[in-house]
């Protein structure tokens, strides 16, 4: 696949990416070794001259939807999930700064003792100065996922693409864990994702990217060096864009 030309990228990380392998004590919600490895992937891409901003989910710590299903009031559960994303953002910031990457965390929920509030022009200035900016707390309101937050920030920051780093190597027409013959798309349109309910991101995030013509690149960030490889057109990924290509 020919590598598209991107300059400013938003990387959406699922919270589960920061979890370590299972041991006798279960999973570490934020594994320092895994977080350091992910930070190095980000640092390697930044060193190539890309401007990077990041949104991290909170599912490794707390899932608002799951908690709401168990009886916690939905808005309260979602706010708790937003706080989990702040914890993950601070962990990624710490890992990046330990390897020499200037990083700022901006939260949609003001908490000035630990990070900056989200201010779009300040975030743009940070990017122009070569800093990595991590956006935390989603959109700052309940009933929206961090996928929607990532799409919103990508649009606000005029990003050339939204990269979704997950534990799978692209978008399939069925769950590859359940259906061994599932087909992986090289490219797929926004409308196909929505009409076939392909579960790339939630529908509002897909629609927002479609309306702002922001391609979504889905790839496996657990594979060492894959972020940079996908940017170079060498890794395995799926691009969600306006038109499918054969």
**Within-domain flag for 3:** no
**Within-domain flag for 1:** no
pTM, to two decimals: 0.92
In angstroms, the CA 7 to CA 157 distance is 12
In angstroms, the CA 217 to CA 111 distance is 31
Residue 138 has which token pair?
A: 């989603």
Q: What is the pLDDT of residue 85?
A: 97
Task: List the CATH number of the domain containing 66.
Answer: 3.40.1160.10
**Within-domain flag for 62:** yes
Backbone torsions φ then ψ of 37, nearest 5 degrees: -65, -45
**Within-domain flag for 162:** yes
What's the N-to-C CA distance of the chain in angstroms? 11
Domains: count for the chain: 1
**Within-domain flag for 61:** yes
Backbone torsions φ then ψ of 242, nearest 5 degrees: -65, -40
Q: What is the pLDDT of residue 95?
A: 98
Question: With left for phi above 0 and alpha for psi between -120 and 50, is residue 130 left, alpha or beta?
Answer: left
Q: How many Å separate Cα 185 from the centre of its chain? A: 20
**Within-domain flag for 2:** no
Starting at the edge strand found earlier in the chain, the sheet holding 237-241 runs: 116-117, 103-107, 132-136, 51-56, 8-13, 161-166, 216-220, 237-241, 187-189
| Structural domain span for residue 116 | 8-241
Q: What is the pLDDT of residue 1?
A: 44
pLDDT in tens, the chain (246 residues): 445 579 999 999 999 999 977 654 556 789 999 999 999 999 999 999 999 999 999 999 988 778 778 889 999 999 999 999 999 999 999 999 999 999 999 999 999 999 999 999 999 999 999 999 999 999 999 999 999 999 999 999 999 999 999 988 999 998 888 898 999 999 999 999 999 999 899 999 999 999 999 999 999 999 999 999 999 988 899 999 997 665
**Within-domain flag for 235:** yes
C-beta neighbour count of 156 within 10 angstroms:
16
Q: Identify the sign of the CA torsion 88, 91, 96, 102.
A: positive
**Within-domain flag for 236:** yes
Backbone torsions φ then ψ of 124, nearest 5 degrees: -60, -40
C-beta neighbour count of 76 within 10 angstroms:
13
């Amino acid at each position: 696949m020919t590598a598209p030309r991107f300059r400013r990228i938003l990387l959406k990380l699922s919270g589960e990416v920061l979890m370590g392998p299972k041991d006798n004590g279960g999973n570490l919600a934020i594994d320092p070794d895994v977080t350091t490895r992910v930070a190095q992937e980000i640092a390697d891409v930044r060193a190539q001259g890309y401007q990077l901003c990041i949104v991290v989910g909170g599912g490794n710590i707390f899932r608002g939807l799951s908690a709401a299903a168990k009886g916690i009031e939905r808005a309260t559960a979602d706010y708790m999930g937003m706080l989990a994303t702040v914890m993950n953002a601070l962990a990624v910031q710490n890992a990046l700064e330990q390897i020499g990457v200037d990083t700022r965390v901006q939260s949609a929920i003001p908490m000035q003792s630990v990070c900056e509030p989200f201010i779009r022009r300040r975030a743009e200035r940070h990017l122009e100065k070569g800093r990595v900016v991590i956006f935390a707390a989603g959109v700052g309101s309940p009933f929206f996922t961090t996928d929607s937050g990532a799409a919103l920030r990508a649009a606000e920051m005029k990003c050339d693409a939204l990269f979704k780093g997950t534990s799978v190597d692209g978008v399939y027409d069925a769950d590859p864990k359940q259906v061994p013959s599932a087909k992986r798309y090289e490219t797929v349109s926004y409308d196909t994702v929505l009409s076939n309910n392909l579960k790339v991101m939630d529908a509002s995030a897909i629609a927002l990217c479609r309306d702002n013509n922001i391609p979504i690149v889905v790839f496996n960030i657990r594979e060492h060096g894959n972020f940079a490889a996908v940017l170079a057109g060498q890794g395995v990924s799926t691009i969600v864009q306006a038109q499918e290509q054969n």
